[in-house]
Structure formats: C-alpha cells, structure tokens
Amino acid sequence: MPKNSLFLLSLLSYCLATLSCIAQKPNKKGNSTQLKSAPKLVVGIVVDQMRYDYLTRFWDHYNEDGFKRLVNEGFNCKNNHFNYAPTSTGPGHTSVFTGTTPSTHGVIGNSWYDKVENKSVYCASDGNYSSVGTATDAGKMSPHRMTVSTITDELRLHTQMRGKTIAIALKDRGAVLPGGHTANAAYWFHGETEGNWITSSFYMKELPKWVADFNASNKVERYKKVWKTHKNISTYIESGIDNNNYEGKFNGETKTTFPHDLVKHWDANGSYDILKATPFGNNITTDFAIEALEKELLGADDNTDFLAISYSSTDYVGHKFGVNSKEIQDTYIRLDTDLQRLFKALDERVGKDEYTVFLTADHGAVDVPSYLKDQKIPAGYISNTDMKAKFNEYLLYAFGTTDVVKNYSNNQFFLNHDIIANLDLQLADAQNKIAQELLKYQEIDRVYTADQMRSNDYTSGLPYILQNGYNQKRSGDILVVLKPGFISYSLTGSTHGSPQIYDTHVPLLFYGNGIQKGSTVTRTEIPDIAPTIATLLGIAFPNGTTGQPISEVLE
C-alpha cells in the first residue's frame, strides 16, 4: 500500500477514535450520557400582571442580583406569549404549571359560569374542605377544578413523593393551582383584620408550628406604615407624572400622589388587605418564602424539591394605579430587591449552583385607555349597561325573550340551549345570528361562535388564541373580542383578560442548574415552561401537556 494511503488510513482511524471518545465522554457522575440535571430545588416564580417591558423599562434601576442576575447569568426568552385567552390569574398560573391551555386543563377564568351547576364558580373554591388558620371561609380551597396534572405533581410522582412541593402567594389561586394536586402545602395570605398565612384542610389538619410562629410574630405588622418611594421620585423618569387623572386612590385619599399613608387609611381599606396593593405585600411574600425554605429544609437532600412563589401585589398595584404610574415603577424596583434577598437565601441554604429558577407572569396588562386617548391613541371603554340594554332589545325582537342568554362572563355569552331547541332553531344558527348582531357594536372588534371553535383548526392570530382558551365542556357559545385598547373597566387603573398582545407578552427567564446562558427572540409560549423543566429534570411531562421544551434553554 502506498505511504500516502497508509497515512490517510491512520489519520482516519485516529479521528474516528477521538470522536468516539468525545461522544462517550463521561459526565461528573461517570455516566456516558447526560440524561438530566439534578438541582436540589426548583423555584418557579410567577409575577402577577408583569408586562415584558417592565423588565427593560426599569432596567437601569435594578440591582445586579435581582432581575439582572436572571438575565445576565441565565436565559431570556424575549418573545414569550400566552397563546390563549382569557388572560387572567387562574388560567395563567394553571397554564404555567400544566404545560397546556384552558382548552385542556379546564380553568377558563378566575371564575366562570358552570353549565352543569347553573351558577358561577370560582377556580379554586371547594366546599368539601375547611379553613386552616382562620375561622373564616377563606381557606375552603382545593385544585379540584384543574383537570390535569402539574409539573409539581409529576416531580412528586417521580420521587415517590419524597420531593417536597410548597406553594406560596398572597392570592389563594396563586398558590393552590401551582401546587398541583399533590402539594405538601399551599399557603396564602388572609388579610382583613387577621393578616395571617392560612391554608386548607385539603393539605393538612393544622398549621405547622413554623407557620403559626410566623403568624404570631410581628413580621407582617411592621409593614403597617407610610408607603414612600424606594428611591428619589425625581429619578423615576420611566413612568408618568405622579399627579394625574388615570390612577385610582385608596379609600380616604384625596390625591393620587406619594406618599400613601397606610396607617391613616388602614380601617377604610380592609385593614391588612391594604398591604396587598402595595410593594409590602411582595415583601411579606418573600419573608414567608425564605422562612419556608429554611423550616421545610427545601433543597436539603438528593430528592429535588419545588418552591412555587407568586408575587401578587404587582397585580393589585397595576389595577389600582395603572401600568404607567410611579406606584408600579416603585413596586418593581422594590420587587427587584426582594428577588435579590430571595436569591441570597437560596445561595446560602441550597448552594448557588444547586437550584434552578424560572420567572414568568400570569398575564400582562393594558395601558389606561383614558391616558392612551389623551395621547391620541385609539382606546376607550365599553359600557356593559348600555350594551346590555341594546342587546336585550335585539333578543326580544329576534327570539321573543331575553332568557335565550343565561350568562355573560369572561367575554363569553352562554345560551339557553333548551329555549333555542323549543324555538325550533339549530344551535349553530342561533349562535351565528347573535354573533352577527354583536359585530354591529362599535367597541367590538371580532366575534366567534362555539361552532367555529369546534369546526376549525386555527394555527395563528386571534382565533388561534381564542381556540386554545375554548374548553368544549366549560366555555360559552359566543366569544367576543373588543377592539385593541378598549376595556370594560373603571376610568382609572389597568386591567387584562384579552387576547391582545399587551396582555399576552410577558417575561420568561431561566437561571441556574442545567440552564444555558443566552437569549432568543424566537416565539415561545407559556405552555412550553412545564415541558422544559420536565426535560431538565428527566421526569414525565404533565399529562395534558401541549407545549414543547425550549431546547435553547437547556445545557
């Protein structure tokens, strides 16, 4: 054989051997293939009503170990969206943790009209259980209306229930739904005159000693004070003027400006409930989460635990003061310091490289329409009273009775199928007839029927978003979409719930064990979170999953 041929053959053999060694390179534990990461703790953070632009707008005010730590040392999904409507807290938290949409998991609103029970039901209420930690009914909750498993459930099953799940939020639904069906505990804050963390007998018969001790301490009472800005208000140039007509006020206040004297207006605003609509509600949540981290020994053994935290005050503040207010800016600046405090506790108790975090939101929010109108941007309000009067006139003319409609909620009309049948009408024809009438109303942009939702497979645009939110057993007969910038709400403060992009575009950040550093502008969707974490952990996807793992996120 020629020398050149021998040389090439030797070189080829060497390259093949080298590639084989690289392909089989052992990981730290000696396995030939890295199937999963094994963080001691996963921390899932949901910031209620956080628009994506809060991350960029207030960036210069954030410290290095809060939001910036997640962005600079983790992975940022910049084009992340809810792919369904209505965009509200109950469906939002459920979708994050189930990896699917209301069309599958069944939580179609915070509350909705139940066609079987013929009444409105709340997403987390359950009269089969009693309150623990309060004598009121505030603890009668469970996740029973959620029809599929969560990522927290699957982690519990995977570890033979040895891995713990603890869920915490000011709002009951912000704790109950992320905790899943198998949580060791879900705790939420009961305000009024009590100011305590409570739970349901679904989880336990009595509060653990550490929770009772926390409630008995003065850790909550110290936030009964004047709300001043965290920094000099003159530096808050990323928000509107403090004195304006677009913000609400606490009961008893005569102006919208800082400072807000919580002590003075305590009794007129539900006592401890007033804290929810201030950054101090987030402070209380962080205090309690750090206490749970320590007392529950989360991340202390080889079984991965899960801590689900929902920061609810951002939503209360947004609803009252609006997305362009000094109050919302101050709330996010203070939330950033809460994240810094939380991460420091995680570093110390679990280890900086031993935990994984994701942070997202349950929905966005619209800018105050009255403000947008003053800036000559199309926006406005719809009067349900005026629309109802006009619509009832139509129903009497077309059907001879207004009883053909049983309920209107979450921008959906529920029809009385029995009356329609008695009128010898086909349901699809009645739906279409009413939809054509609603399209005549100036503030309504689009109308879709349940027949359209069942008969078509939408893959983009608003009908795709509506279809993902449409549950065949629970949703209404007619779905209404208001024009962009139009809402049914008070003239002050912001709200949400629509399929419009200001309600769907929210942050999605990953950080820690098993997470790549980087970012993407490729579209990601809320149901992608749970399968991404499941892939990271090497566990089963939640059983209703429709999202896909985000491959760029994982090492």
CA–CA–CA angle 376, 378, 383 (5° rounding): 120
Amino acid in position 312: S
Give the chain's radius of gyration (CA, Å): 26
User: Can you list the positions of beta strands (E) in 78-236?
Assistant: 80-81, 111-114, 119-122, 131-132, 165-169, 185-190, 196-200, 226-227
Residue 522 buriedness (CB in 10 A; 0-12 / 13-18 / 19+):
exposed
Q: How far apart are CA 141 and CA 126, in angstroms?
A: 5
The Cα–Cα gap between 328 and 224 comes to 19
Q: How far is CA 511 from CA 233, 356, 477, 529, in A?
A: 31, 6, 42, 13
Residue that has been written with the tokens 């051997």 in this structure: 17
Is residue 153 within 8 Å of 182, Cβ to Cβ? yes
For 30, the token pair is: 């000696």
Rounded Cα–Cα distance for residues 504 and 385 (Å)? 28
Catalytic residues: 89
**CA dihedral over 251, 254, 255, 257, signed as positive or negative:** negative
* Cis bond upstream, residue 527 (ω within 30): no
Structural tokens at position 214: 């926390």
| C-alpha to C-alpha distance for 377 and 68, rounded to whole angstroms | 32
CA-closest candidate to residue 183, choices 208, 154, 212? 154
In angstroms, the CA 275 to CA 131 distance is 22
**What residues pair up with 44 in beta bridges, in sequence order?**
308, 358
Give the amino acid at 287: D
- The two most distant CA atoms of the chain are separated, in Å, by 99
Give per-residue burial for 28-54: e unless 16+ CB within 10 Å, then b.
eeeeeeeeebbbbbbbbbbbbbbbbbb
Q: Which residues contact 340 (CB under 8 A, 6 or more apart)?
A: 63, 65, 66, 69
> 38: phi > 0 → left, psi -120 to 50 → alpha, else beta; which?
beta
Please check whether residue 506 is in contact with residue 51, taking contact to mean a CB–CB distance below 8 angstroms: yes
Mention every residue, 6+ apart, whose C-beta is less than 8 A from residue 434. 398, 413, 415, 477, 478
Q: Which 3 state secondary structure label does DSSP give 227? A: strand
Answer whether 435's CB lies under 8 Å from 463's CB.
no
Chain centre distance of CA 122: 16
